[in-house]
Amino acid sequence: MTETTNNATEAGPGSEEKGGASRRARSIRFSDSEWQTVEKAAAERDMNAAAFVRHAALGVAGGRYGAHGDALPAHHAELIERIFRSTHILATLKRDEMVSQGRGEELDRLVEATREFQKSILEGPDD
């Protein structure tokens, strides 16, 4: 694996980690079919391939996911993803109706609770 150093402005937005440490480009090798699988999985999650690989690798390294999928089976992850997307679509369709009925604060609370839940899933269990 090779490594090159980028400063935050060269790397673009989101290149800073928590605590201000800049990220460095890393080079890893994939076969064409492996990379196509990565790109497809990333696109299904509205992510770019690099972010997807980083998220997956850090999830396994951090113990949130098992190396062989034992923490959360792939079909469960896919189901959760579909549920979130479907809920987002339904909430978007109902938003204007709720606001016009004076239920904007209720909607805001639902959105905040959903964001907190999503954050807790991404961060993993408290140890």
C-alpha–C-alpha distance, residues 110 and 61, integer Å: 32
Q: Which letter does DSSP use for residue 74 in this model?
A: H
Could you read off the pLDDT of 44-55 as tens digits, one per residue?
888 889 988 988
What is residue 17's three-state secondary structure? Answer: coil
pLDDT tens per residue, range 3-18: 444 433 333 444 445 5
Residue 36: its pLDDT value, please?
94
The per-residue pLDDT of the chain, averaged, comes to: 76
59 close to 65: Cβ distance less than 8 angstroms? yes
What percentage of the chain's residues is helix, strand, coil (to nearest 5)? Answer: 65, 10, 30
CA gap 38, 30 in Å, rounded? 9
Taking the mean position of all CA atoms in its chain, how far away is CA 59? 10
pLDDT given at position 94: 84
Q: Which residue has the tokens 């800049």?
A: 22
Would the pTM of this model clear 0.85, i.e. be above it?
no
Cβ neighbours, 10 Å, residue 98: 16
State the pLDDT confidence band at 125, using cuts at 50, 70 and 90: low
Listed residue (49, 73, 69, 52) closest to 60, CA to CA: 69
- Categorize the per-residue pLDDT at 19 as very low, low, confident or very high, splitting at 50, 70 and 90: low
